[in-house]
Amino acid sequence: MKIVVVGSINMDLVTHVHHLPKAGETISSHSFQLIPGGKGANQAVAAARLGAHVSMIGMVGSDENGSILLSGMSDSKVHLEGVSRQGTTGMAFINVSDDGENNIVLVPGANALVSVEHIEQNIALLEQSDVILLQLEIPLAVVSHVAKRAKEMGKLVILNPAPACELPHELLRAVHTVTPNETELEILTGLPVRTIEEVQAAARKLLERGPQRAIVTIGEKGALLVTADKASHIPAYRVEPVDTTAAGDSYTAAFAVGLTKGMSEEEAASFASKVAAIVVTKEGAQPSLPTLEEVNSYIF
């Protein structure tokens, strides 16, 4: 079973702060790091470390950051024939507070140069795949094109709708599974998500627009798996969070890997919750992503 990730590749510039700054507030950080990231690359590395055969389609710059990112993905056994180099590598400026919360500002860079033509040049990777993972850090028209082409090929398309924005109906109709968090679900539907019942109602509203399955991550409350005829609450694993940066990316990737390993959707969601719980106990995006051996041996 093969997974293809189409999406962003960034260098994360991470500042560690006592608290997230408010509007107009200037604060000092107590440490700074350069860490490989980008939602697409995070998901590709996460799935590869969990034992999946993963190919990446995307773009990095013709600069040192691009070389570092490609080397890191290659070390995690991500296949990179679908990655080209042009312009300046994308970046993410991330503040991480002492209690593990974060905020992020993206500079798209080369990610904005991913085009329909680039996808068509690598269409064989989509044809050879079983599952295709998408996010929203490359142009929306390209995401929609990939989803449409993948649906025509009969592939399982999983969309992690982040950063959240209004999505065209043709995109949602081409997606099988959507994996928002609470905030993203609220943005996508305009409905409140303060309780499990409200999350379920909002998820069903999203399913009316095309997807067959929604998995909503709800932090320490776990996740809610919603289809047309059922809703299952997937409990979270209890940990002390250090950095939540790649939690959503690892969850989406682990769910996809679980499905390729023959797990039921509930089993895959529980496996994904375990992976995401391990991720938030470590700092950084890709450095926090565990191997399958780590997941199997981790004791909560």
178 has binding-site annotation: no
195 has binding-site annotation: no
The Cα–Cα gap between 172 and 19 comes to 36
Retrieve residue 121's tokens.
């040049």
Task: Tell me whether strands 223-227 and 131-134 are parallel, antiparallel or unpaired.
Answer: unpaired
66 has binding-site annotation: no
Retrieve residue 255's tokens.
């769910």
The Cα–Cα gap between 138 and 155 comes to 20
Nearest to 116 by CA among 87, 139, 88, 136: 139
282 has binding-site annotation: yes
Q: Which residues are bridge partners to 181 per DSSP?
A: 217
Q: What is the DSSP letter of 181?
A: B
The Cα–Cα gap between 54 and 69 comes to 16
232 has binding-site annotation: no
Retrieve residue 295's tokens.
């997941």
1 has binding-site annotation: no
Instruction: Mark whether 249 is an active-site residue.
Output: yes
130 has binding-site annotation: no
249 has binding-site annotation: yes
Cβ–Cβ under 8 Å, residues 234 and 224: yes
Which residue is catalytic, options 99, 130, 229, 249?
249
99 has binding-site annotation: no
91 has binding-site annotation: no
Residue numbers belonging to the annotated binding site: 10-12, 38-42, 137, 181, 217-222, 243, 245, 248-249, 279, 282, 284, 288
Residue numbers belonging to the annotated binding site for ATP: 181, 217-222, 248-249
Q: Which residues are catalytic, by number?
A: 249
Residue numbers belonging to the annotated binding site for substrate: 10-12, 38-42, 137, 249
Residue numbers belonging to the annotated binding site for K(+): 243, 245, 279, 282, 284, 288
